[in-house]
Amino acid sequence: MNSIRSVVIALSLGIILAGPASADVLLMENVQSASSVQTPRKGMNMHSVRNSFGNPVKEYPAVSTTGNPLHPPITRWDYQDYSVFFENDLVLHSVVRRADAN
């Protein structure tokens, strides 16, 4: 009985001493839905994006933690008004740039 009581007290003290949890929150405007710019949809492959939207203005090489399946290669293509991010060969996100960001 004393051992259970000791464990409960130790856990309670650990929670109290750890303090409240906190996190940063990043709020972003949903620029894409407010824009009339057509962008590649999630899940399209690179070949389809190139055929439908043409060649990007700039292509960045894939960034990855080599050999780690939890960190697949991420590639970025920049078009005139937006950027497309690929995970492996598939569109992960398309992000429209704000007019005042150019």
Q: What is the pLDDT of residues 10-58, one digit of tens each?
A: 666 666 656 565 566 655 555 445 568 899 999 999 999 999 999 999 9
User: Is 86:92 a contact under the CB 8 Å cutoff?
Assistant: yes
How far, in Å, CA of 88 to CA of 45, rounded? 9
Kindly indicate the confidence band of residue 6, based on its pLDDT and cuts at 50, 70 and 90: confident
Question: What percentage of the chain exceeds 70 in pLDDT?
Answer: 67
Q: Where are the beta strands (DSSP E) in 1-102?
A: 58-63, 74-78, 82-87, 90-96
Q: Which residues pair with 57 in a beta bridge?
A: none
Annotated domain spans of the chain: 2-101
The alpha-carbon radius of gyration of the chain (Å, integer) is 23
Asked if the model's pLDDT at residue 70 lies above 70, the reply is: yes
User: Is 100:94 a contact under the CB 8 Å cutoff?
Assistant: no
Using DSSP, state whether 96 is helix, strand or coil.
strand
The pTM (predicted TM-score) of the whole model is 0.62
